[in-house]
Structures are given as C-alpha cells and as structure tokens.
Amino acid sequence: MSLRDRIVVVTGAAQGLGAAIATGAADAGATVVGADLVPTAPDGRIEIRQLDVTDESQWEDFAGWLRREHGACHGLVNNAGITMRSRLGEVSLADWNRTLAINATGPMLGMQALMDLMPAGSSIVNIASIAALTGHFAIPYTASKWALRGLSRAASLELGPRGIRVNAVMPGLMATAMTSDVPQGVSDALLGSVPLARPPLPATSPRSSCSCSATSPHT
C-alpha cells in the first residue's frame, strides 16, 4: 500500500499505538502530522503538533494550520485515549466525564474540524477497543468505546455519500503504557483467547475491525 502524496493526521501519536500508526503511515509514504499533549515525535519524519483533543478551539486552530500548510487531509486516525478502570459503584462523575471527553468527544471534534479538508477517497479510522464489542467491568472506558463505535457508524452514514470512509478498529490487549497497570487476573483473562497467550506489540498487533463504511455492512 502506498500513501504517497497523502496527508495523514494521527492523534495520540507521541507513544504507544499512535506512534506505531504514525510510523507505519510514514513508511507507506504519507506526510504524517501527529497531534498529542506532549509534542514529542516518535520519528524524524513525523511532525507533532500540541493538541488537547477535548478542546474545540484547539481543533479549529489545528484545522486552520493544516489547511495553510498542506491544503488537505486524506486520513485521520483518532487514536488518542485513556483508560479508566473504575467499577459502577466507584466511578466518579469527574472520571466519567474525562474518559468520555477524550475517548468519544475528542474523535467527534476531530472529524468535525477536518472533514471539510477531506476530498473523496479520504479515510477516518477511529481506534476503539474489543471492549466496544463485549462487556467489561471498566465502566467509563467500556462506555466510551461503545460510544465511539456508534459514533463511527453514524458518521459513516453522513460522510459516505461524500466518498469519505469511516471505520472503527477494535484492538485487544496490547503491551503499551496504557495497559502496564492492568491487574494480573484481568490480563490473564483477556489473554486467554490469544493463541500465543501474550499481548502483541503496537506495531504487530492483529486487530479485529468493525467496518462502518456506508458502502459496507456493519459487523
């Protein structure tokens, strides 16, 4: 696959899965613009812009800069996210709101800000989680990923006629900073369905995908 002459934006690109996605897109020939709270590029080919994905005005500024510098956006990967493992009786409203703001509102704001820069043939990929397909005890995280799955489906219906694909990807447990404090019992249970019984690294992760393009079935 070649992404030559394509402008690709990746949020949460400074580390973990986001860094792997950004590097992979650069390897395929794309001009990659990363966005992160910490503007540290994982690769010299990738420019990182500081961005809080929950801030609408920062997204507007980012979109204006992207239009001036590159003129278009051919790909948006909404990868930025946090985990919050509180159970129902423990979750605070502040933690609930913060998790939903980053994991669901952030991707919505990103799509709003950049969709008018995206020509036909462009693609949006929202990084959800296997938690969006099943039930997990992590109440705010699971709810946010189910919301992102629904957002992806709804957005595909609106953007599909414009030739813009919208898909959600559902990774399982991966070896990243986000999963470093997963309790051992939970980790063992999640890895029970993995043939090698070990979490993959971000750059090599096999992922189950939920295709939300308007031209394909929702599975």
Amino acid at position 128, single letter: A
Whether residue 155 contacts residue 99, with contact meaning beta carbons closer than 8 Å, is answered with: no
Is residue 141 annotated as a catalytic residue, yes or no? yes
Number of residues written out for the chain: 219
Return the structure tokens found at 79: 């990868």
H/E element, 1: none
> In angstroms, what CA-CA distances link 64 with 57, 78, 110?
11, 18, 13
Contact 64, 42 (CB under 8 A): no
Kindly state the tokens that stand for 133.
Answer: 């397909």
Q: Left (φ > 0), alpha (ψ -120 to 50) or beta: where does 61 sit?
A: alpha
Identify the residue whose tokens are 């500024």: 61
From 59, 62, 141, 146, active-site residue:
141
**Which residues neighbour 186 within 8 Å (Cβ) at sequence distance 6 or greater?**
none
List residues with catalytic annotation.
141
